[in-house]
Amino acid sequence: MVLPSANLLSSFQEAYRNLELLPLIEEKGLKQFRVEYGEDIIDELIQLVEDSPNADGKVVFTGHWGCGRSTLLAEFGRRIER
């Protein structure tokens, strides 16, 4: 069994840290990296909430890691608060 060299391991760890995706919640991060979803998606979410027949309705968000679910929900939350 061949073990990776310390340099190779260090390079891999740095690359992993650089690619770690976190929700874009802070304004600074949003300005730097945000990809616009378009108004349609936020409007659809708002409509789902408004059309819900009762207060305990649920909406399920799915998608791969880093696709923007948390970022989308953060923007949705900001709009709902307004």
Write out pLDDT tens, residues 52-74.
Answer: 888 777 788 888 777 778 878 88
User: Are the beta carbons of 20 and 64 closer than 8 angstroms?
Assistant: no
What is the pTM (predicted TM-score) of this model? 0.52
Query: pLDDT value at position 34?
Result: 66
Query: pLDDT value at position 35?
Result: 67
pLDDT in tens, 3-53: 667 788 888 888 887 777 666 667 777 677 666 666 788 888 888 888 888
Among the listed residues 70, 79, 66, 68, the one whose alpha carbon sits nearest the alpha carbon of residue 35: 68
Q: What angle do CA 52, 55, 70 make, to 5 degrees?
A: 80
CA quadruple 61, 63, 66, 67: dihedral, nearest 10:
-90
Distance of CA 77 to the CA centre of its chain: 13
